[in-house]
Amino acid sequence: MYANQAEVFKEQGNVFYSQKAYSDAFNCYTKAIDAWPKNASYYGNRAATLMMLSRFREALEDSQQAVRLDDFFMKGHLREGKCHLSLGNAKAASRCFKKVLELEPSNREAKQENKTAENLMELEKMANFGFEKRDFRKVVFCMDRALAVASACHRFKIFKAECLALLGRYPEAQSVASDILRLDSTNADALYVRGLCLYYEDCIDKAVQFFIQALRMAPDHEKARLACRNAKALKAKKDEGNQAFKKFNFEAAYQLYTEALAIDPNNIKTNAKLYCNRATAGAKLNKVNQTIEDCTNAIKLDDTYIKAYLRRAQSYMDTEQYEEAVRDYEKVYQTEKTSEHKHLLKTAQLELKKSKRKDYYKVLGVAKNATEDEIKKAYRKRALMHHPDRHSSATAEVQKEEEKKFKEVGEAFTVLSDPKKKIRYDNGHDLDDDGGFSGRGNSVFFNSGPGNFFFQFG
């Protein structure tokens, strides 16, 4: 009686299955199994239905039960193999397909599926090799191809997500991990990836919480343990550096930031901040070249890091590398069009323009804040040094060079001794509109030993 009733439920299930009403088919096959649990085909049919519902773990259990009841049940072995494939267990899948081929050597489906299993094993092998070589893009590529076959494999999804995180593609990695956690909130690997994303986004406190949760679920999770240790060490060292800086202990801050940078080269965002912090400490210690290098390293890690551009631009200004400073300030102003950034850019552009003219302060050998008397004294000294009468016995080439310098000294004095011209020159304005370097009336007479020199520039 039970066998007949079971057959009725099975036939109803077959009708629903043919109509793609898989939930109804599942219910009917379940009733058939309940009525007659020793029939392998009932488990096989329910397995097929569960596969259509993407419930591959349950389908695997039914397939395995089917072949336990009947080891010659070819469809049972075939379905078990397909479930293993969908779940990413290619070796187990291959064993199932080979079993089918033992029962029916000419089975085309089993041959094709076995090739698919072999390809999956090769993709996994390539991905593992890529991970060892830190070729994370290769891993993502392999896992995308593997997941086209093993769509229900959490292990492959996590492997892909971890590499997305290592590539800085945090939203994608977070999405994959979150999808898995919705299905299994205790998945230690997914918790680890969530933590990894937060860690690399410089949310270290939150990251540590996820790592600790992952270790609760899987105490032997080595990656979570290492990441947790690195996260705690990195935060502690960075905080120490910040405290030292606030106390004006710049040498200690510089050293602590250096130690923090050695903890985890993979943490791009935090390391970018550490480089910029060290650059700030370096600037306080007058390590100008190191400051520029640290800012450059920060920008390499995060090309949107405005603070690093600003710090480097200031260092360029301090070292009179005005073209580089303008380039950095332009980048900043394009990103954040504030009045402050506009002012910084204009100042750098002005200094660049001024740097392309003759530097009359350098010509006279005086500072830019030199007094009128200092300018006059410097002029007399340089004029005597380069006066043609002093080089009358030199070669023609030397005479020509000294005459050129003598004229430059005159030009410099003409401008810097005239308050109006000096102001225009200091402000970067062109002097041509103000009569150029005519200098009429600017003459100097002084006694210099054996001969008296009278200089007048026209």
pLDDT tens for residues 143-168?
999 999 999 999 999 999 999 999 98
Confidence (pLDDT) at 455: 45
Confidence (pLDDT) at 437: 43
Rounded to an integer, the average pLDDT of 4-24 is 95
Distance between CA 217 and CA 113 in Å, rounded?
35
The whole model's pTM is what? 0.68
113-122, 251-260, 404-413: least confidently modelled range: 404-413
Within this chain, domains 232-356 and 360-427 share the same CATH topology? no
Q: Which is more confident, 427 or 200?
A: 200
Cβ atoms within 10 Å of 260's Cβ, excluding its own: 25
In contact, 409 and 382? CB cutoff 8 Å? yes
Confidence (pLDDT) at 384: 85
Confidence (pLDDT) at 419: 87
pLDDT tens digits along 180-194: 999 889 999 999 999
pLDDT tens digits along 273-300: 999 999 999 999 999 999 999 999 999 9
- Checking if the pLDDT of 54 tops 50, the result is yes
What are the residue ranges spanned by the domains of the chain?
A: 232-356, 360-427
Supply 45's token pair.
Answer: 């049919």
Distance between CA 458 and CA 445 in Å, rounded?
15
- Checking if the pLDDT of 442 tops 90, the result is no
What is the DSSP code string of 78-131?
Answer: HHHHHHHHHTT-HHHHHHHHHHHHHH-TT-HHHHHHHHHHHHHHHHHHHHHHHH
266-280, 287-301, 331-345, 357-371: least confidently modelled range: 357-371
Confidence (pLDDT) at 192: 96
From 3.40.640.10, 3.40.190.10, 1.10.287.110, 1.10.150.20, which CATH number describes the 360-427 domain?
1.10.287.110
Give the dihedral of Cα atoms 426, 430, 432, 436; nearest 10 deg. Answer: 20
Range picked from 305-314, 357-366, 411-420 for highest mean pLDDT: 305-314
- Checking if the pLDDT of 387 tops 90, the result is no
Rounded to an integer, the average pLDDT of 312-326 is 95
User: At CA 449, angle to CA 446 and CA 454, rounded to 5?
Assistant: 30
Q: Which is more confident, 398 or 437?
A: 398
Confidence (pLDDT) at 312: 97
Look at the block and give the residue holding tokens 């080595």.
Answer: 222
- Checking if the pLDDT of 239 tops 70, the result is yes
- Checking if the pLDDT of 130 tops 80, the result is yes
Rounded to an integer, the average pLDDT of 332-338 is 94
> Which residues neighbour 134 within 8 Å (Cβ) at sequence distance 6 or greater?
166
Confidence (pLDDT) at 342: 95
| Mean pLDDT over the full length of the chain | 90
Confidence (pLDDT) at 431: 62
In contact, 297 and 291? CB cutoff 8 Å? no
- Checking if the pLDDT of 447 tops 60, the result is no
Distance between CA 260 and CA 274 in Å, rounded?
7
Cβ atoms within 10 Å of 118's Cβ, excluding its own: 15
Q: Which burial class, exposed, middle or buried, applies to 247 when counting CB atoms under 10 A from its CB (0-12, 13-18, 19+)?
A: exposed
Calculate the alpha carbon distances from 218 to 52, 103, 230, 320, 385 in Å.
32, 41, 18, 57, 83
Tell whether domain 232-356 is in CATH 1.10.10.10: no
Confidence (pLDDT) at 432: 59
Confidence (pLDDT) at 456: 42
Calculate the alpha carbon distances from 231 to 131, 266, 283, 355 in Å.
21, 12, 27, 47
Confidence (pLDDT) at 271: 95
139-178 per-residue burial string, b: 16 or more CB within 10 A, e: under 16: bbbbbebbbebbebbbebbbbbbbbbbbebbbebbbebbe
Supply 274's token pair.
Answer: 């550490």
146-150, 209-213, 308-312, 392-396: least confidently modelled range: 392-396
- Checking if the pLDDT of 439 tops 80, the result is no
